[in-house]
Structure 1
Amino acid sequence: MLLKRLTEASGVSGNEKEVRDLIMSSLEGYVDEIKTDRIGNLIVHKKGSNPSGKRLMIAAHMDEVGLLVKDIDSSGLLKFMPVGGIDKRVLVSKAVTIGEKKLPGVIGAKPIHLQKRDEWSKVLDIDDLYIDIGATSKEEAERQVSIGDYVAFDTPYSEMGNGTIKAKSLDDRVGCSILIDILKSDIDADIYGAFTVMEEVGLVGAGPAAYQIKPHMAIVLEGTLCYEIDELDSHQMPTMLGKGPAISLIDRTTVYDRSLREQVVKIAQENKIPYQFRKTSMGGNDSGRIHISGTGCATTGISVPTRYIHSPLSLISKSDYDNTYRLVEAIIREFEKGAI
């Protein structure tokens, strides 16, 4: 399954090559043009019907949050720094892989038995954690690991419950997977696909990608935060699992084009596709750079709700994945007719 292969690939921000190569091989024979720019974005063009002459860009970012080795101590333990926004409370005892050879390791800390009582109530700082690769000395560790090596979480893809997928890096391999599905479909529309780099460290790749494509309209595909518990009122829940794709209103980087959003909602309703609104302004995505590139571009953010985002594992609903694909496909068909 493509989503399994995408999520299990390593692609911490700035180190997206494994993901990029997988996407390129998946799209071979399905697109007319494919290139990698100097910053590492993968940009593809599927030629098709385009009565309006407008350029449609669909973007999804390849990178994931992770870690970077910054030091090796005398006992062979690795010290690290985060890459992207990671909640340090969830790091202890997590399995990871280091470097191109995917050396296995475990994030460790002082055992609770040896902690002082006042330490029990404190969140361990990154500097209190380390990665254990089973080495017994700095020299032994240095034969396997180098300063600057990327560290990815080691979470196998699996399915659980009633149509729920568990994996790492669903933000945003879920968007990449849907975009690949779209590009491989029989939709006869002119589409520029942008698989961007380094979204998690400041939307780095999206601006250069949009500069090259010069889109009139863009769809940003994401895995977005999902949190629904009984103690919260419905307006405090950003998205809910199983309720359909989330359409963005506003976030940290974009106030989304109202006219385009209303058209997207109408398309969902006409096609009987369940949808919800992303009811938070926290976070951001590649739209923050795309919509201000060149002379400007109307964007819409369409996301798959994702529980436990920016952690070693996340959950999505298969029905949300399928309905997000349906909505994007329906939008493209309207674009193809020149209705948007």
Structure 2
Amino acid sequence: MMDRLLEICALDGTSGDEGAVRDYIKSSIHADKVITDNLGNLLVFKKGRKTPKNRIMFAAHMDEVGFMVTDITSDGFLRFGAVGGIDPRVVLGRAVRFMNGTRGVIGTKAVHQQSADERKKAPDFDALLIDIGAENAEEAGKRVSRGDCAVFDSDSFRFGSGFVKSKAIDDRAGCLIMMDMINGGPEYDAWYAFTVQEEVGTRGAKAAAFTIEPDIAVVLETTTACDIAETSGAKRVCELGRGCVVSYMDRATIYDRELYQLARSTADKLGIANQTKTLIAGGNDSGAIHVSRGGVRTCALSVPCRYLHSPACVINEADYTATAKLAEALLSAFAEL
């Protein structure tokens, strides 16, 4: 399972440029209806053994955070902006790659050239440059153009006791769970929305929900875990190794109370490890979905993940498995509400 996750995470797909991920998913699923809408969402219908009382939609986003070239300096360096919410502190010195294979390194001026104030804080994006080894602007322009996107260029691997590290686990984990649900012969009919542009404002989800018109939506995501050294209590938010995270509220959504309680009780009944957050933080495609048309009852299941939006997202395989099992169980539970 984790080998397949690392395979899909290795694909490059910044917001607005998710084509490689979409093509991979299309080639890997067996469904009754597959639609690519005008934004690039992949909308999939899979007929099950039964027809549900409610129209159910599962959703996960294909895009990942990255960088977009905004200018090329006279000496061949690239100015850029962030695509999605990236902390500048995690990018300095990182390797990046472009869709055409061009590679580079993110840098800034040397420490001994910085002022005392500059050395006290992380540089902002406007102080960073991508070095692609070009001699001048003309040479750089032959490799990269304004508007081209890059992603973190980092290795993926397993380590410790069930831990997995990769870029783009947010949210290729949710995508893979849905792919396995589609191919696994589900009990009930359902729609599956592989959405675009979540990282820049949940834009794809808005269009997908409008098209599908679900009664109930289940968003499959990753969510920030802060269970690291010297962090205690509520500030840990959620923890790796404690199971699927079922959300009750975040900065974009107050989740349907009945669905939240049913998700927790179903997990407990089936012996699926589960937890919830200890802080109201973050947001995901639920924010757009739950206010679509006349409103959509929405639930969110997440794999807890350390170091989100970095080249080193880290999850635990057991939490991924718990999330996948609960998603499958909720298709049946929600279908008959």
- 1:61 paired with 2:69, answer no
Structure 1 outlier segments of 4+, above 4 Å: none
Q: Which runs of 5+ in 1 are unaligned?
A: none
Cα drift, residue 51 of structure 1: 4.5
Cα drift, residue 291 of structure 1: 1.0
CA contact (8 A) 1:93 1:108 kept: yes
Aligned mates of 1:331, 1:145 — CA distance in 2:
45
Structure 1 segment 157-236 matched on structure 2, within 5 A: 157-236=156-235
Change in CA separation of 1:156 and 1:230 when aligned onto 2, cut-off 3 Å: closer
CA contact (8 A) 2:216 2:334 kept: no
| Equivalent of 2:9 in 7, 10, 32 | 7
Structure 1 segment 97-176 matched on structure 2, within 5 A: 97-98=97-98, 100-176=99-175
Which position in structure 1 is the counterpart of 2:73?
A: 73
Which position in structure 2 is the counterpart of 1:271?
A: 270
- 1:283 paired with 2:285, answer no
Aligned residue identity for 1:31: A
Change in CA separation of 1:132 and 1:150 when aligned onto 2, cut-off 3 Å: same
RMSD, aligned CA: 1.3
Change in CA separation of 1:25 and 1:51 when aligned onto 2, cut-off 3 Å: closer
Aligned mates of 1:203, 1:91 — CA distance in 2:
23
CA contact (8 A) 1:260 1:300 kept: yes
Aligned mates of 2:313, 2:231 — CA distance in 1:
20
Q: Deviations over 1:215-250 (max 9, x none)?
A: 111100001101023544422221101110100010
Aligned mates of 2:218, 2:182 — CA distance in 1:
14
Which position in structure 1 is the counterpart of 2:93?
A: 93
Which position in structure 2 is the counterpart of 1:35?
A: 35
Aligned residue identity for 1:15: D
Q: Deviations over 1:285-332 (max 9, x none)?
A: 111111111221111010000100011221000000111111111112
Q: Deviations over 1:257-308 (max 9, x none)?
A: 1111111111001100110002222211111111111221111010000100
Aligned mates of 2:325, 2:203 — CA distance in 1:
29
Aligned residue identity for 1:182: M
Aligned mates of 1:310, 1:94 — CA distance in 2:
13
TM-score relative to the length of structure 1: 0.95
Identity, % of aligned positions: 44
Q: Deviations over 1:100-132 (max 9, x none)?
A: 312111101112233344432122121111001
TM-score relative to the length of structure 2: 0.96
Deviates more, 1:129-138 or 1:107-116: 107-116
Aligned residue identity for 1:49: R
SS in 1 for 2:203: coil
Aligned mates of 2:9, 2:192 — CA distance in 1:
19
CA contact (8 A) 1:70 1:147 kept: yes
Which position in structure 2 is the counterpart of 1:303?
A: 302
Size of the alignment, in residue pairs?
335
CA contact (8 A) 1:249 1:279 kept: no
Aligned mates of 2:210, 2:50 — CA distance in 1:
20
